[in-house]
Amino acid sequence: MKLYVAHLYPRLMNLYGDRGNMICLRHRCRERRIDLEVDELDLGDRLDPKRYDLIFMGGGQDREQRRVAPDLLNVKGEAIREAVEEGVTALAVCGGYQLFARYYHPASGDDLPGLGIFDAWTEHPGEDAPRCIGNVVAEWRGGTLVGFENHGGRTYLGAGAEPLARVRVGFGNNGEDGTEGAVYKNAHGTYLHGSLLPKNPRFADHLLLLALRRRHGEVELAPLDDCLEEAAHAAAVRVASARR
């Protein structure tokens, strides 16, 4: 089996080790003898919606988001929306998540229009407002997701958006309604850096299964020895919970 991955703006959108998510996916595929081919798509590169099984975009500061937002919308946007509608798996973290939604209203400057894949929008309350910073524990599918968040914007979900998880510790989307991230079809948005996937092996395999089954049918993933990953996850839960 083989998976094709599009990694969007790997040099501009790579806060807090977001590239580690790609390293994690490559490791988990290699251990199972699944071929993984990653194309790094930068400014000006077009995306073929028929080629990819998984699309990944990490986070960036407002400066980087301003650089990539026009390219994401005008060069790659239509193809990404088509791919998501066809069931391609996607993961967008922090700034990537904001730009996969309807718009981001930053603390200063013009709004950044997004792809509208998630029925959600982000408002920055102003440069004097405290940022949402810290470790996060969120309830997801009978377990937890852990990660680190650092964002000034507050994201609000519309009626067409489903939250990815429910916050147990941390701020999540906005620090008000208990939601974290968003899901539309097989596209997932989240504020969790970390890197996210190495400390959340169940979520990593969830994304891999979605991507594999779309192309290859009802496949199953061979179990891996996740003792270290689970220990890191448990430690993250303990650290976050102790600082509530």
Integer Cα distance of 210 and 83 in angstroms:
14
Of the candidates 94, 151, 188, 206, the residue annotated as catalytic is 94
Asked whether the beta carbons of 115 and 146 are under 8 A apart, the reply is no
Q: For this structure, is 29 an active site residue?
A: no
Q: For this structure, is 94 an active site residue?
A: yes
Nearest-10 crossing angle of helices 201-216, 227-242: 130
Report which of 1, 9, 8 is spatially closest to residue 28, judged by C-alpha positions. Answer: 1
Instruction: Give 21's DSSP letter.
Output: H
Of the candidates 7, 188, 193, 206, the residue annotated as catalytic is 193
Integer Cα distance of 13 and 78 in angstroms:
20
Report which of 86, 212, 219, 100 is spatially closest to residue 204, judged by C-alpha positions. Answer: 212
Which positions are annotated as active-site residues? 94, 193
